[in-house]
């Protein structure tokens, strides 16, 4: 039985569960020149991080529920921040938990 809300991780990929529906995988990969990071939804690029001043993300074409977009933005932001700052996986997950709780999405922490 699928939980009502949650986040499932598998390596760099993650899925967001909202109202018992699983959305994903969300993932990232380094750009070909290693100067940026591309954000992916089901293998399709939806955003890119080039620098703190150059970030673009747009999940609107996928028609996802707003809660899924919000949670995905928080999670991918924390993951990228952690990777670029050299945080351990445990530190990145703690950051995700902290930010989701601070921003009112603690219900998604049931599976993560």
Determine what percent of the chain is predicted with pLDDT higher than 90: 75
Give CA–CA dist 103/66, Å, rounded. Answer: 14
- What residue spans define the domains of the chain? 5-110
Q: What is the pTM of this model?
A: 0.90
Q: What is the mean pLDDT of the chain?
A: 92
**Are the C-beta atoms of residues 4 and 20 closer than 8 Å to each other?**
yes
Q: Tell me what the mean pLDDT of segment 79-95 comes to.
A: 91
According to DSSP, the β-strands at 54-57 and 44-51 are antiparallel
Kindly state the greatest CA–CA separation across the chain. Answer: 42
Q: In this predicted model, what pLDDT tens digit does every residue of 23-58 receive, in sequence order?
A: 999 999 988 787 889 999 999 999 999 887 888 999
**Are the C-beta atoms of residues 44 and 63 closer than 8 Å to each other?**
no
* Residue scoring higher pLDDT (42 or 89): 42
């Amino acid at each position: 039985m699928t939980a009502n809300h949650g986040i499932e991780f598998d390596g760099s990929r993650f899925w967001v569960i909202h109202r018992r529906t699983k959305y994903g995988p969300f993932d990232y990969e380094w750009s070909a020149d290693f100067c940026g990071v591309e954000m992916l939804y089901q293998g399709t690029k939806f955003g890119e991080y080039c620098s703190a001043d150059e970030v673009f993300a747009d999940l609107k074409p996928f028609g996802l529920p707003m809660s899924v977009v919000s949670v995905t933005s928080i999670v991918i932001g924390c993951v990228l921040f952690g990777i670029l700052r050299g945080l351990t996986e445990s530190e990145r997950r703690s950051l995700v938990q902290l930010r989701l709780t601070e921003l009112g999405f603690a219900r998604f922490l049931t599976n993560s």
